[in-house]
Amino acid sequence: MNCKDNMTLPQVGDLTAGPFVSDGAEIAIFDQYRDKLSIKAPGWRQKVGNLSGGNQQKIVIGKWLSMQPKVLIVDEPTRGIDVGSKSEIHNLIRDLAKQGYCPDGVVGA
């Protein structure tokens, strides 16, 4: 799947107007979390499988953060990725925990 579809799939029901999915809303979600998580992708059309392991993990994290969870449980979020990406993801999770993350809830890391 491309980055946008992968990131917004769990909430696609909330992004529909009649029988159609709001492409603009999906792109806005992708853009927001691409910037927030520093995802390195040329655009939303990029296939997730063509991204580095660290950026694939960030897509997964962005997918769930965009749902604005009250609790976020991560299990081995850095398994199988390079050392630089591991550090980035650990820092991201620490930052989210320090911020108390969600405007509507708390993130546990």
Residue 76 included in any domain: yes
Record the pTM. Answer: 0.82
Residue 68 included in any domain: yes
The two counts, helices (H) then strands (E), for the chain are 4, 2
Each residue's pLDDT tens digit, 39-58:
999 999 999 999 999 999 99
Q: Residue 43: give its domain's CATH number.
A: 3.40.50.300
Residue 79 structural domain? 3-99
For the chain, the domain total comes to 1
How would you classify residue 38: left for phi > 0, otherwise alpha for psi between -120 and 50, otherwise beta? Answer: left
Residues contacting 52, CB < 8 A, separation 6+: 40, 81, 82, 85
Instruction: List for the chain the helix, strand, coil content (%; round to 5).
Output: 55, 5, 40
pLDDT at 95 over 80: yes
Residue 109 included in any domain: no
70 close to 106: Cβ distance less than 8 angstroms: yes
Residue 17 banded pLDDT, cuts 50, 70, 90: confident
